[in-house]
């Protein structure tokens, strides 16, 4: 679900412009601007980043009827402008911007977002990481630290912040726009090219990202990789680095508006229902039957860790702690090499994750979280 960008055009000669979705100002995009339109784009971008309430363009060189579209393009390409509400364009070249908050409140929010972006990227992105590793790190951060604002979505009371980076990065709750805009901002900070994509999924308005990995584009829908209701410690990869053909099974968008994603180089991720990276391996629950496997990151060779069904697990040191769905969902542990398997708790547990040296798990029957210091 996404919140459509509002555009109101009030001009000396009255004209109405509908919201335009899916603009992506990339070299591969079919949406290119003329030199004069680019000048207006730059004026609008600078003014809005400076939180100015007005700007002026040359109405003799750019038709005022097109300025609303350019504003829309600026906003969709610049999620840092989370405070935009609407715009009024005059045929005399005047632009009046309306924002959701006062400049003082916007600057406070912006300061928090900037600090969060800096901290997240510093912790998530390590020296000499590949493009793939950077995209995965940011994808995983958002899935693990942001919860879909499901309750408000069901009640049709989603707050404005949940559509923006502030909701995802500060409140830790968002809908698809909050996820995809945060993904875009964080990837940009990490030096990865990405495009904010708008369309529909299962018949509802939706947004996600096109990311460039080693020169090729792939679709990433971080929202749909985050389980709903929220499952702590669980990251899915069903919508990580997909091609157009793979995504279009349940997503729709104007494909001609965006670069084409055709490479299936990373299809192996789509077999990982839940995955944790450790010591050069991907440890994952197989999407077909939840059997626990590991894959060598370099060779891509896979091997079975245990024959148990493992939908929930975490790793600490040389041990895997997991919910054994082949035996009542009881809490077990096994070494990374699949040896020394042992039952720890004779109760059905879910949502297993680590926080420092403490193992957390949720009792299925009571819904209460318990902990074990390791």
Q: Count of H helices and E strands in the chain? A: 8, 21
pLDDT recorded at residue 70: 94
User: What is the rounded distance in angstroms from the CA atom of residue 243 to the CA atom of residue 134?
Assistant: 19
Question: pLDDT band at residue 31, thresholds of 50, 70 and 90?
Answer: low
3-class state of residue 350 by DSSP: strand
Cα gap 77→270, rounded to integer Å: 28
Cα–Cα distances (Å) from 341 to 241, 277, 314, 319, 335, in that order, read 34, 20, 15, 10, 7
What's the confidence (pLDDT) of residue 32? Answer: 78
In CATH, which of 1.10.3720.10, 1.10.3210.10, 1.10.760.10, 3.10.620.30 is domain 103-265?
Answer: 3.10.620.30
Tens of pLDDT, residues 88-116: 999 999 999 999 999 999 999 999 999 99
User: Do 137 and 187 form a contact (C-beta atoms < 8 A)?
Assistant: no
Model confidence pLDDT, tens digit, residues 318-329: 999 999 999 999
Class of the domain covering 267-374: mainly beta
247, two tokens: 């995504």
Can you spell out the DSSP letters for 52-86?
Answer: -SEEE--TTTS-GGGHHHHHHHHHHH-TT-TTEEE
Gap between the Cα atoms of 187 and 148, Å rounded: 20
Q: How far apart, in whole angstroms, are the C-alpha atoms of residue 246 and residue 219?
A: 9
The confidence score (pLDDT) of residue 231 equals 82
Q: For the chain, which residues make up each domain, given as ranges?
A: 1-100, 103-265, 267-374
pTM, entire model: 0.86
Residue 78 backbone phi and psi in degrees, to 5: -130, 80
């Amino acid at each position: 679900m996404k919140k459509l960008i509002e555009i109101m055009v009030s001009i000396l000669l009255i004209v109405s412009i509908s919201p335009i979705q899916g603009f992506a100002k990339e070299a591969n995009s079919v949406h290119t601007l003329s030199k004069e339109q680019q000048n207006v784009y730059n004026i609008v971008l600078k003014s809005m980043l400076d939180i100015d309430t007005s700007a002026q363009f040359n109405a003799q060189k750019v038709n005022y009827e097109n300025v609303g579209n350019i504003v829309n393009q600026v906003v969709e390409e610049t999620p840092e402008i989370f405070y935009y509400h609407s715009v009024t364009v005059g045929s005399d070249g005047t632009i009046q911007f309306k924002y959701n908050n006062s400049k003082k409140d916007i600057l406070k929010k912006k300061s928090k977002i900037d600090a969060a972006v800096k901290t997240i990227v510093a912790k998530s992105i390590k020296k000499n990481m590949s493009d793939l590793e950077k995209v995965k790190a940011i994808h995983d951060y958002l899935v693990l630290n942001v919860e879909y604002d499901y309750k408000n979505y069901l009640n049709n009371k989603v707050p404005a912040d949940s559509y923006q980076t502030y909701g995802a990065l500060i409140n830790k709750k968002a809908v698809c726009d909050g996820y995809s805009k945060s993904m875009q901002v964080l990837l940009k900070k990490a030096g990865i090219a990405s495009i904010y994509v708008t369309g529909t999924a299962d018949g509802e308005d939706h947004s996600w990202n096109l990311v460039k990995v080693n020169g090729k584009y792939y679709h990433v829908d971080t929202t749909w990789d985050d389980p709903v209701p929220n499952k702590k410690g669980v990251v899915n990869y069903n919508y990580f680095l997909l091609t157009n053909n793979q995504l279009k099974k349940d997503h729709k968008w104007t494909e001609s508006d965006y670069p084409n994603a055709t490479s299936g180089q990373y299809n192996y991720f789509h077999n990982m229902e839940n995955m944790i990276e450790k010591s050069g391996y991907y440890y994952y629950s197989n999407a077909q039957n939840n059997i626990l496997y590991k894959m060598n990151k370099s060779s891509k060779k896979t091997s079975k860790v245990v024959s148990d069904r493992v939908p929930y697990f975490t790793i600490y040191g040389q041990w895997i702690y997991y919910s054994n769905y082949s035996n009542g969902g009881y809490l077990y542990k096994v070494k990374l090499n699949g040896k020394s398997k042992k039952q720890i708790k004779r109760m059905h547990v879910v949502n297993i994750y680590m926080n420092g040296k403490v193992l957390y798990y949720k009792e299925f029957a009571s819904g209460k979280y318990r902990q074990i210091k390791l």
